[in-house]
């Protein structure tokens, strides 16, 4: 979408205010007795107050009306969303699924929330440990409705059709070959422009981080400067018939009504934000001598567990790259492991699209 602006960086201390209200961001303190323009100050925490400074996540939001000014939540149908993994018997076989059909808009209007389908997962949101993998298929925008996930972070991967995501922090346009992360507790709405489909990786109890680089050094893989955070944008919008907030809490859906848009944040600052990333910016590390490096070198984001070196989930891509190796079988090796939680279902497939003959025993491939 032309005109959308972003701030660069991963986990930075950002500050932004809508240009229509200059000076709306308080200076020198977070919660003045009277905020500029009569705004209400709220803090959104992504960690415990007492977390170490390096992992402490929070943002201050300055809004036209308080976010708690809504009617009580009531249960609603969960549709195809679930985290009841015991509903089906375990199956040790290799499995795959066909692409989910996208409903025709001429037959049925389906927005982002109605089009959520759970594919698989492990753990649960109540114990704050585990993952869920969902698909979304939709053909219409969310009108006077937003979604809030109290269970964990959502990593959204559009596969077909771009999506315009409006958040309390601003707007993001996310296209195929881009990803975005909406962190726990953030309200957002999704606009679509055609029949649309994509993946969602949900993690419970952890936030996504950049992987440690180790011997790679200071640069490589997904560089922090390539992540983009939206700038402040607000709407002072009254909805007489009721604005619907859908909240996912402990694996169930609840809804409530209020008479104004929740996207009324005029200014904000902090390090707990939504963000997006273009996968074309990923700096690939690869083997240039023999054998294949482990797929962990293609990790974009990781959600760490409490066990050092073990992730709850890794988001891994296999982007186009030159694969140059001597005396090595071209396709990657078969890999069997006993880790219970692994998000290989989120990995992009790798296709050999170009080959250059460099000699009898040395070939170069671009995958």
CATH of residue 344: 2.60.120.10
Question: Could you tell me how far CA 142 lies from the centroid of its own chain?
Answer: 18
Helix, coil or strand: residue 228: strand
Please state the separation of Cα 87 from the chain's center in Å: 27
State the pLDDT at residue 1.
Answer: 53
pLDDT at 158 over 50: yes
Position 211 in a domain: yes
pLDDT the model gives residue 198: 96
Question: 255, 280, 305: which is the final residue of a domain?
Answer: 280
Average of pLDDT values for 331-352? 46
**CB-based contact 112:190 (threshold 8 Å):** yes
114-133: pLDDT as tens digits: 999 999 999 989 988 999 99
Give the residue-averaged pLDDT of 66-78: 95
Q: What are the tokens at 182?
A: 């909406």
Contact 305, 93 (CB under 8 A): no
> Structure tokens of 86?
């015991």
Higher-confidence residue of 144 and 354: namely: 144
Residues 275 and 288 in one domain: no
Domain co-membership, 276 together with 289: no
Q: Do residue 276 and residue 298 come from a single domain?
A: no
pLDDT of residue 361: 32
Distances, alpha carbon 296 to alpha carbons 41, 56, 217, 278, 344, in Å: 42, 26, 15, 19, 11
**Domain-ending residue, one of 280, 304, 328:** 280
Stated as kind and residue range, the H or E segment containing 326 is: strand 322-326
Residues 202, 338, single domain; the answer is no
What value does the mean pLDDT take over residues 254-279?
A: 97
Residues contributing to the annotated binding site: 335
Give percent of the chain with pLDDT exceeding 90.
71
Residue 31 lies in a domain: no
Spatial separation of the C-alpha atoms in residues 244 and 170, rounded to whole Å: 19
Query: How far apart are the C-alpha atoms of 124 and 250, rounded to whole Å?
Result: 8
Confidence of residue 329 (pLDDT cuts 50, 70, 90): confident
Q: Which residues are annotated as a binding site for Fe cation?
A: 335
- Residue 160 neighbours by CB under 8 Å, 6+ apart: 102, 176, 195, 196, 197, 198
Q: Are residues 259 and 288 in the same domain?
A: no
232 and 332 assigned to the same domain: no
Please give the order of strands across the beta sheet that includes 187-192: 74-76, 252-260, 238-249, 145-149, 187-192, 163-167, 170-174
Same domain, 253 and 300: no
pLDDT of residue 320: 86
Give the pLDDT of residue 88: 84
Asked if 245 contacts 258 with a C-beta cutoff of 8 angstroms, the reply is: yes
Domain C-terminal end among 280, 308, 329? 280
- Domain of 290 in residue numbering reads as 283-356
> Residue 350: is its pLDDT beyond 70?
no
In sign, the C-alpha dihedral spanning 253, 258, 260, 266 is negative
Residues 351, 257 share a domain = no
Average pLDDT (4-14) is 96
Task: Tell me whether residue 366 is in a domain.
Answer: no
25 falls within a domain: no
Same domain, 289 and 276: no
The pLDDT of 305-326, averaged and rounded, is 88
Predicted pLDDT at 93: 87
14 part of a folded domain? no
Active site (catalytic) residues: 292
> What is the C-alpha separation between 152 and 205, in angstroms, rounded?
6
In a domain, 18, yes or no: no
Q: Does residue 186 form part of some domain?
A: yes
Same domain membership, residue 330 and residue 248: no
Q: Is the pLDDT reported for residue 355 higher than 50?
A: no
Which tokens is 275 given? 């963000």
Determine the pLDDT at residue 339: 39
Give how far Cα 83 sits from Cα of 137, 153, 201, 289, 302, Å: 19, 15, 13, 44, 21
Distances (CA, A) of 155 to 4, 62, 224: 21, 26, 17
State the total domains in the chain.
Answer: 2
Give a yes or no: residue 28 inside a domain.
no
The mean per-residue pLDDT over the stretch 204-221 comes to 93
Residue 254 and residue 296 share a domain = no
DSSP of 104-149, one letter per residue?
Answer: PTTT----TTTTEEEEEEEEETTTTEEEEEEEEEESS---SEEEEE
pLDDT beyond 60 at 333: yes
pTM (2 decimals)? 0.89
Q: Confidence class of residue 337 from pLDDT cuts 50, 70 and 90?
A: low
The count of C-alpha atoms lying within 13 angstroms of the C-alpha of 280, restricted to the half-sphere facing its C-beta, is 4
Q: What is the pLDDT of residue 324?
A: 84
* Mean pLDDT calculated for residue range 205-210: 94
Which residue is it, tokens 């976010």? 67
Cα separation, 287 vs 95, whole angstroms: 29
Average pLDDT, the chain: 88
């Amino acid at each position: 979408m032309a005109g959308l602006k972003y701030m660069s960086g991963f986990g930075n201390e950002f500050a932004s205010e809508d240009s229509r209200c200059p000076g709306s961001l308080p200076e020198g303190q977070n919660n003045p007795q009277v905020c500029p323009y009569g705004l209400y100050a709220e803090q959104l925490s992504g960690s415990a107050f007492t977390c170490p400074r390096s992992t402490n996540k929070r943002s201050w939001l300055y809004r036209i009306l308080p976010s708690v000014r809504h009617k009580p939540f009531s249960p609603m149908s969960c549709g195809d969303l679930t985290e009841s993994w015991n509903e089906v018997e375990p199956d040790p076989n290799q499995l795959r699924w066909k692409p989910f059909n996208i409903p025709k808009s001429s037959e049925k209007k389906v927005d982002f929330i109605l089009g959520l389908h759970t594919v698989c997962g492990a753990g649960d949101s109540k114990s704050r440990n585990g993952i869920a993998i969902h698909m979304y298929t939709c053909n219409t925008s969310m009108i006077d409705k937003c979604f809030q996930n109290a269970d964990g972070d959502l990593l959204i991967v559009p596969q077909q059709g771009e999506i315009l995501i409006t958040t309390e922090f601003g707007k993001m346009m996310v296209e195929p070959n881009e990803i975005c992360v909406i962190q726990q507790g953030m309200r957002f709405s999704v606009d679509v422009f055609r029949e649309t489909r994509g993946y969602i990786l949900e993690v419970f109890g952890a936030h996504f981080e950049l992987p440690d680089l180790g011997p790679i050094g200071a640069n490589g893989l997904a560089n922090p400067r390539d992540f983009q955070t939206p700038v402040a944008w607000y709407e002072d919008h009254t909805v007489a018939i009721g604005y619907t907030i859908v909240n996912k809490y402990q694996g169930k859906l609840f809804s409530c009504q209020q008479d104004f848009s929740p996207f009324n944040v005029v200014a904000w600052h902090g390090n707990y934000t939504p963000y997006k990333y273009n996968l074309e910016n990923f700096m690939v590390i690869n083997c240039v001598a023999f054998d294949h490096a482990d797929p962990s070198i293609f990790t974009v984001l990781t959600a760490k567990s409490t066990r050092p070196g073990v992730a709850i989930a890794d988001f891994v891509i296999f982007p186009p790259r030159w694969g140059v190796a001597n005396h090595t079988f071209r396709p990657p090796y078969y890999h069997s492991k006993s880790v219970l939680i692994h998000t290989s279902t989120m990995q992009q497939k790798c296709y050999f699209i170009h080959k250059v003959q460099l000699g009898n025993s040395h070939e170069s491939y671009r995958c």
